[in-house]
Structure 1
Amino acid sequence: MLSKFNQNLSRSIVTFCVSLACILVIGVLQVSQLNRLLIGAKTTSLPNLNREVDTERLRLNLLQKTPSFGFDNILGDWVMLGFLSYFGDDSAREQTGYSLSPEYFEIIVERDPRFLEMYLFLSTSISMYVGLPEQSVALMEKGLKSLSPKAPLKFYFIWRYKGTDELLFLGDAQAARKSFEKAAEWAIAYSDPESQNVAALSRQTAQFLARNPNSKFAQVGAWTMVLQNAVDDRTRRIAISRIEALGGKVVITPEGGVQVQLPEQD
């Protein structure tokens, strides 16, 4: 019995060491990539930037196939760090675009679908900057299959991101209405004021769309959510211009807050 215990212990230690070594290797690669991308694409030529993108694509393809030995959330965090460096390198992205965004999130959704904060970046980068809302919605649908409304985290926000992409970028008002209805259904399970407010807003948006699939009120509400959750200035500018084009009005308060007025007519 003692001999068997020692064998199991030894096997566990070896497995842990191998897992730790793999994680450290991935970490070193990630840090190296972060440093390389942050060093100044401003002085890098377009051919070199394209080679960097190709290299990063190969690395992401490798990470998709790399076993995580039970450390899926850690691997997901590292991939997210890589995305943030990639997304935040404005000078490089102006020249090469954001085509790798879906590949980052395919890994993260697969490894750590409970990573709530990443879904907002997923929606913005893939739908707005890459122009692939179908892929954004598909990834959110995949993640939602692993989630429930009773978890400590407020996953109902993902339904709202999904509904926003369906409404604003796919033009699918029926699918968007269903997503906002699910957001309200999941949010109502929480008793805190924020969740109750989200439930009411989501229900209202769904009602707007039920009455009028082309509802300006619903679209302005969706763009308002994009504006409030914007991860960069470019997204804020786009959201404000779309709200104003729909007849809404954006007011910046003296305290720096944002107030949005609906159009006079739906």
Structure 2
Amino acid sequence: MFNFNNRILVSCLTGIVSFSAIVSLQVESLKQQIKIKNQSTKAYIQQEKHRKAQANIQQKIPSFGYNNLIADWAFLQYIQYFGDTEAREVTGYSVITDYFETIVNKDPKFIDANLILSTTNSIFAGNPQKTVSLLEKSLESITPEMSPYPFFIWGYKAIDEVLLLGDIEAAKKSYQTAASWAEVSNVVGSDVIAKRYLETVAFLETNPDSTTIQISGWTMILSNNSDRQIREYALKKIEELGGIVTVNPNGKISIKAPEKV
């Protein structure tokens, strides 16, 4: 006779089999997810290498008088590259520097692109020294009268010099030049911008210590980048500036600026 105890046994066995089947399905699903993730990672890394090689070719190929078209194409590629968040979380943003260099070499007067890439190259690619170098090269071909706002190139250069490089003297000169360019500009409100630039120069005259500002800048780079080498370099710069780096048990990094004496 099929008694109550047998029913319990059958129910238990059925539950175990069902549970085992569910676990097996979950494990198989997890394996597939890991496999897909690994495949995606390899694809992103391969894509990064391809993009870098392509950007290097663009810098070297003859343009036959169509430099501006190559610069435009490099800028469109940059937009696509920067917007691919999933890929950038894996590979970082190192190719930004290559796109930036291509644009400056091919069309140094491409002001809009210079302003956009100067920020992302410094913060996301973690390469402010190269940013300043490329902006300086671009400025050799730009005049104060150009449309619409060439004075911002000097202003952006000054921000890198203060925020990330700690070169106060260079920053003051950049802000002063930015102010003089803004004063002759026809852009509405440029006179107000010129005044702010000069106020910044006055502030730097009386507050030459940019340590805390630099630590904030490198912390911003650290928090906006997944590239291991760039993160390590940012941490190194923070520590060199006297910042106190603490790694919590969960792996979270906290930064504390040095106390003023």
Q: TM-score, normalised by structure 2?
A: 0.65
Distance 1:43 1:124, change over 3 A: farther
Residues matched between the structures, number: 185
User: How far did residue 214 of structure 1 move?
Assistant: 2.8
The alignment's C-alpha RMSD in Å is 2.8
User: How far did residue 146 of structure 1 move?
Assistant: 0.8
Q: What whole-Å deviation, never above 9, does each CA across 1:82-101 have from its counterpart, x for those lacking one?
A: 00000111111011000111
TM superposition outliers: structure 1 runs of 4+ over 3 Å: 41-44
Residue 206 (structure 1) aligns with = 201
Asked if the contact 1:42–1:92 (Cα under 8 Å) also holds between the matched residues in 2, the reply is: no
Q: Which piece of structure 1 moves more, 66-75 or 135-144? A: 66-75
Residue 119 (structure 1) aligns with = 114
Residue 32 (structure 1) aligns with = none
Asked if the contact 1:156–1:187 (Cα under 8 Å) also holds between the matched residues in 2, the reply is: yes
Distance 1:78 1:192, change over 3 A: closer
Instruction: Tell me which of 50, 53, 58 is aligned to 1:58.
Output: 53
Q: Which runs of 5+ in 1 are unaligned?
A: 1-40, 224-233, 236-266
Residue 108 (structure 1) aligns with = 103
Q: TM-score, normalised by structure 1?
A: 0.64
What is the identity, as a one-letter code, of the residue corresponding to 1:98?
Answer: Y
Matches of 1:113 and 1:83, distance apart in 2: 16
Asked if the contact 2:154–2:178 (Cα under 8 Å) also holds between the matched residues in 1, the reply is: yes
Identity of aligned residues (%): 40
Residue 172 (structure 1) aligns with = 167
User: How far did residue 179 of structure 1 move?
Assistant: 0.7
Bigger Cα Rg: 2
Asked if the contact 2:128–2:160 (Cα under 8 Å) also holds between the matched residues in 1, the reply is: yes
Instruction: Tell me which of 144, 149, 155 is aligned to 2:144.
Output: 149
Q: What whole-Å deviation, never above 9, does each CA across 1:236-263 have from its counterpart, x for those lacking one?
A: xxxxxxxxxxxxxxxxxxxxxxxxxxxx
- SS of residue in 2 equivalent to 1:45: helix
Instruction: Tell me which of 91, 95, 102 is aligned to 2:90.
Output: 95
Matches of 2:105 and 2:39, distance apart in 1: 33
Q: Which has the higher contact order (CA 8 A, sep 6+)?
A: 2
Instruction: Tell me which of 158, 163, 173 is aligned to 2:153.
Output: 158
Residue 125 (structure 2) aligns with = 130
Distance 1:79 1:191, change over 3 A: closer
